Amino acid sequence: MEIIKQPWPWYIAGPLIGLVIPALLILGNRAFGISSALRHICAACLPGTIPFFNYDWKKESWNLFFTAGIVIGGFIASYWLATSEAVSINPHTITSLKRQGVKDFSSLLPGDVFSFSQLFTLRGAVFMVLGGFLVGFGSRYAGGCTSGHAIMGISSLQWPSLVATCCFMIGGFTMTWLILPYLLQL
């Protein structure tokens, strides 16, 4: 049980994640991706008047079970397998974030930026509401999320997925180095 509670090194976790792709393809001819699950949920719950949600979502119901497994796994990991140790963060990152006003490193996400009490502040609204909208819009505009493009698309040699992943990375670097310092001052 102790091995499950410890972070796994990249050379074990990475190949295990990578093996999901051939398993999905070989066992069921299925493509990996999470952002499409929201579309399937909306298609199942909303009336069929919106053309984007008017399709046979039941053929993709496996994706809903896969996504539910991710949510349940995250719940189990955070409530029953969590340790009392602080999240291990590079000391240089902590120093840099402290200079920018982030001081709460007690959980996976900094509590003074990502918490329910911060949701109703300008900084919280920008990070959680606007950020969430941009992630959702971007994944729809790119035709998939980062996991779908970077893990599934590149492994199946799809050129658009390579382009999308490069754009995700450039956007992430730009956000981290050029925009985030200003947003943390809000």
pLDDT digits (tens, 9 = 90+) for 117-174: 888 889 888 988 999 899 888 888 888 888 888 888 888 889 999 999 999 999 999 9
State the pLDDT at residue 71. 92
**Rg of the Cα trace of the chain?**
19
Cβ pair 184, 123 in contact under 8 A: yes
Integer CA distances (angstroms), 106 to 69, 93, 135, 147, 186, in order: 26, 14, 25, 27, 21
Both tokens assigned to 167: 């754009």
- 75-123 pLDDT, tens digit per residue, is 998 888 877 777 778 899 889 889 988 888 877 788 888 888 888 889 8
Q: Please give the model's pTM, rounded to 2 decimal places.
A: 0.74
State the pLDDT at residue 167. 92
Cβ pair 153, 144 in contact under 8 A: yes
| CA neighbor of 97 nearest in space, from 107, 105, 86 | 105
pLDDT of 2 > 80? The answer is no
Round to whole Å and give the CA distance between 1 and 87: 19
How is the chain split into domains, by residue range?
1-82, 89-186
Cβ pair 32, 24 in contact under 8 A: yes
